[in-house]
Amino acid sequence: MYFSVSLLIMRQIALALFFTMVTSCNYFDVKKTSSEEILEEELKTFNWSEVDIYPTFSSCDNEKSEEAKKLCFQNILRQAIYKNIKSDTIVVSEYLKDTILIKFQISERGELSVVEMDVDSLTLKEIPNLKALLQNSLDSLPEIYPAIKRRQKVKTAFVLPVVIQAN
């Protein structure tokens, strides 16, 4: 009888030690992470100034590299602007050579809008309908495919320099 009571007490002590070790162990602690915390951590590492795929036109799809597609996109924009300006008869009284900085924005749906134009006052005086000419040239562009960042269509902004020269 003495042996069985002693064995019973040892089992109870062993069981108590086991439960103490299990409940005090940090191994079983689970840290709950909310989706907001995950998003916040992800946004810290997110580079907002770069996109995976630059906005493009369907005619630029044949280009091999992203840099070539970007140049193709910019060239099509410039050509549309130059074509529209050349088609209009512009008479100037002074020699003009100006670089216009056009700040564009392309929405997630591929809609292009002019945010701002940095135009010299002399150029605007000589070509008062310049902003309308630029807007008309952009309205005649083919469909734009928006930029893509992490498989999501995103809004992008960029600046396109356009040189205007008239005698």
Quick check: 17 pLDDT over 70?
yes
Report helix, strand or coil for 51: coil
Quick check: 33 pLDDT over 70?
no
Encode pLDDT of 63-101 as tens digits.
Answer: 888 888 888 988 888 888 778 777 776 676 777 788 888
Candidates 100, 126, 104; CA nearest to 113 is 104
**What gap in Å lies between CA 126 and CA 57, rounded to an integer?**
33
**What gap in Å lies between CA 102 and CA 61, rounded to an integer?**
24
**What gap in Å lies between CA 102 and CA 77, rounded to an integer?**
11
Give the pLDDT score at 23. 67
Give the pLDDT score at 166. 73
Average pLDDT of the chain is: 78
Give the pLDDT score at 139. 80
Q: What is the pTM of this model?
A: 0.61
